[in-house]
């Protein structure tokens, strides 16, 4: 009646169940016969006793209580920001990498991760991000959030409460990690060029920050990139404040204007920790990322890992390493840049000139920000009613008191025709509901 046993499930024999319950077999036999008479059980020669496959039709109460609710299918177009297009990912190189990893599973003894994968990650960063990383300083993680959580645990040494500066607005899922672990965050203002170095605390106040989490290559969600002068200013500030810089390198390979920018870690190896993931270039379902840490932190990570174990299964690590070693990721990234640039152009053509709105520059990444006067909630709700899921811009401040109304939408995960259809709906909704009446 509670759904623990479902229609069609087989029951133990009367002999086995009587031994498990420590009652006489006659009691179990009588119970089975009674339940069979009431239609709950059926017995067939050679197949034992089972729950009546037609139980839901015979007993309405059990049909209501025992049925497991099925997840609701989303009807519409979900434009969740940052989700990549995975069509064509499972090609021959992808399948071969997973086949070899599964056929010859290995055991990873290095606490920082597979040496093969760490070497390939270092090669990937050299070719794609102009970062000469020592594989011995690469730590394999379970993705961006898992990597940040591990890093915080290392920096606080398991006991000290940290204060971490985060961009405001900034990526919601990452800014929630420090507070979930009991640490404090401080918002750092950003503009269309990324983090404003002038907003960093000075004097005695700068000593209060243990780390700052920034996105120098592609600020989320504004989309700007730190200029050379700002990068130099942030590094100089970190040196004076003895503060760690955590560089979130999310989707930095997906530049639409110019070549990918060099990682901030390539300019400062002493204070900068690179936080990377394969979510945007492959798939979030992979659950695999990496950290590049200064030499001083390598031993601390190794010590922690010996206690906590590997966050990514060995089969996954070796498959990703194999895939990277063939150059397949670089080739796929180059192909997908062309696809995303075409979809970016569709976004600009559809939303770039709507009256009373501003489409933020889309220099890279898989999302766009549309700012408007009017009610953000009305636009978001109306879009959802029309079958298009978008994200309110206020979510990136962590509160509704952002002072700027807008929406954030992803343009990477759907085909061109579906995206174009969704954008037309958004344009109509924003034109009707996104402007304040004069």
pLDDT of the residue at 70 = 46
Can you tell me whether residue 1 is helix, strand or coil?
A: coil
pLDDT of residue 63: 45
> What pLDDT shows up at residue 78?
95
Apex CA 46: angle with CA 42 and CA 51, to 5°? 25
- The neighbour count for residue 44, using CB atoms within 10 Å, is 8
What does residue 163 show for φ and ψ, rounded to 5 degrees?
A: -120, 120
- Rounded CA gap, 77 and 80, in Å? 9
Q: Contact, 209 vs 155, CB < 8 A?
A: no
Q: How confident is the model at residue 437 (pLDDT cuts 50, 70, 90)?
A: very low
Strand order across the 289-292 sheet: 138-141, 289-292, 272-277, 244-248, 211-214, 163-168, 184-191, 194-195
Q: Write out pLDDT tens, residues 376-418.
A: 999 999 999 999 999 999 888 765 456 788 999 999 999 999 9
For 395, the 3-state DSSP assignment is helix
State residue 311 phi and psi, 5-degree precision: -80, -15
Per-residue confidence band for 114, with pLDDT thresholds at 50, 70 and 90: very high
Map tokens 């050299």 to a residue: 126
N-to-C CA span, the chain: 60
DSSP state of 161: P
* Exposure b/e, 143-176, CB count within 10 A at least 16 = b: bbbbbbbbbbebbbeeeeebebbbbbbbbeebbe
Share of the chain above pLDDT 70, in %: 92
pLDDT tens column, 299-330:
999 999 999 999 999 999 999 999 999 999 99
pLDDT band at 62 (very low <50, low <70, confident <90, very high): very low
Residue 315 to residue 105: CA distance in whole angstroms: 6
pLDDT in tens, 237-291: 999 999 999 999 888 888 887 766 778 888 888 899 999 999 999 999 999 999 9
Bridge-partner residues for 274, per DSSP?
247, 292
Nearest Cα to 146, choosing from 114, 118, 180, 119? 180
Mean pLDDT of 218-232: 84
Q: 121-135 burial by CB neighbour count: b if 16+ within 10 A, else e?
A: bbbbbeebbebebeb
The residue ranges of DSSP E strands in 339-438, in sequence order, are 357-359, 367-372, 388-389, 391-392, 406-410
Number of C-beta neighbours around residue 195 at 10 A: 27
């Amino acid at each position: 009646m509670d759904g623990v046993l479902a229609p069609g499930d087989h029951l133990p024999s009367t002999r086995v169940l009587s031994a498990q319950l420590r009652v006489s077999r006659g009691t179990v036999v009588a119970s089975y016969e009674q339940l069979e008479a009431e239609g709950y059980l059926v017995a067939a020669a050679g197949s034992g006793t089972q729950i009546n496959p037609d139980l839901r039709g015979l007993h309405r109460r059990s049909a209501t209580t025992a049925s497991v609710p099925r997840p609701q299918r989303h009807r519409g177009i979900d434009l969740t920001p940052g989700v990549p297009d995975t069509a064509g990912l499972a090609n021959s190189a992808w399948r071969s990498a997973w086949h070899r990893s599964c056929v010859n599973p290995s055991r990873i003894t290095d606490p920082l991760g597979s040496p093969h994968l760490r070497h390939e990650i270092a090669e990937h960063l050299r070719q794609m991000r102009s970062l000469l990383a020592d594989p011995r300083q690469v730590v394999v993680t379970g993705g961006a959030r898992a990597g940040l959580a591990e890093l915080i645990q290392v920096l606080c040494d398991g006991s000290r409460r940290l204060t971490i500066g985060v961009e405001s607005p900034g990526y919601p899922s990452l800014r929630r990690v420090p507070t979930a672990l009991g640490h404090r965050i401080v918002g750092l203002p950003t503009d269309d060029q990324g983090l404003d170095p002038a907003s960093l605390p000075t004097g005695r106040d700068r000593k209060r920050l243990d780390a700052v989490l920034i996105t120098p290559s592609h600020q989320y969600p504004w989309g700007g990139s730190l200029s050379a002068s700002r990068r130099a200013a942030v590094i100089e500030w970190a040196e004076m404040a003895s503060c760690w810089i955590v560089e979130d390198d999310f989707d930095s390979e997906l530049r639409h204007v110019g070549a990918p920018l060099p990682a901030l870690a390539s300019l400062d190896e002493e204070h900068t920790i690179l936080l990377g993931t394969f979510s945007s270039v492959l798939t979030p379902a992979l659950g695999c990322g990496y950290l590049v840490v200064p030499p001083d932190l390598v031993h601390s990570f190794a010590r922690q890992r010996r206690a906590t174990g590997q966050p990514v299964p060995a089969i996954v690590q070796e498959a990703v390493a194999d895939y990277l070693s063939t150059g397949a990721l670089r080739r796929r990234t180059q192909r997908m840049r062309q696809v995303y640039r075409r979809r970016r152009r569709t976004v600009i053509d559809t939303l770039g000139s709507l009256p009373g709105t501003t489409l933020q520059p889309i220099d890279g990444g898989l999302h766009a920000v549309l700012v408007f006067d009017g009610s953000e909630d009305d636009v978001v709700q109306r879009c959802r009613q029309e079958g298009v899921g978008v994200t309110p811009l206020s979510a990136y401040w962590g509160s509704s008191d952002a002072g700027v109304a807008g929406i954030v939408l992803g343009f990477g995960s759907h085909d061109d025709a579906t995206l174009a259809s969704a954008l037309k709906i958004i344009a109509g909704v924003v034109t009707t509901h996104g402007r304040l009446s004069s």
